[in-house]
Amino acid sequence: MTVAPIAIYVDADACPVKDETFRVAARYGLHVYVVSNSFMNLPREPWIERVVVSDGFDAADDWIAERVGPGAIVITADVPLASRCVKAGASVLAPTGKPFTDSSVGMALATRNLMQDLRESGLITGGPPPFSRQDRSAFLGALDRAVVRLRRERGL
């Protein structure tokens, strides 16, 4: 039985850590799928694949969710996509380095829905805090740990 190679899927439209993802992928020789609704300039590397989907609602999410499973690492801030990917067996990281897991994704969905309701009612205005250097550093460490863990699990 052959084991599928480890691949990284980036929900790229608003992803602030694409360059960091490319650095880690280059270090380990991993293929990266950069999925977006529009053309995006990317480094010209054979292991970076640009995937431009239609601008239909959740088209990028659907493309990613339909292809991932064990051995995939998904980078997304989209909690519903994270939930779908965790259920498929993928490792999922937010751009801040926070992992989405079976035990955390339910609470993340509930929190997301609550915050959306509060924003719609006008009780909360504004969004999350600005992305920081510490977030970037935490992401790099989390992605590296996820790759090492998957490689160990697969005997690579």
Express each pLDDT in 55-83 by its tens digit: 888 899 999 999 999 999 999 998 899 99
**pLDDT for res 109:** 61
**pLDDT for res 49:** 96
Question: CA 140 to CA 71: how far, in whole Å?
Answer: 18
Each residue's pLDDT, cut to its tens digit, for the chain (156 residues) gives 556 789 999 999 889 999 999 999 999 999 999 999 999 999 999 999 999 998 888 899 999 999 999 999 999 998 899 999 999 999 999 999 999 987 766 665 656 555 566 667 776 666 667 888 999 999 999 999 999 999 999 887
**pLDDT for res 108:** 58
Nearest to 91 by CA among 30, 48, 150, 155: 150
**pLDDT for res 118:** 60
Per CATH, domain 7-153 is 3.40.50: yes
Nearest to 105 by CA among 80, 70, 76: 80
Instruction: State the DSSP H helix or E strand holding residue 116, giving kind and residue range, or none if neither.
Output: helix 102-120
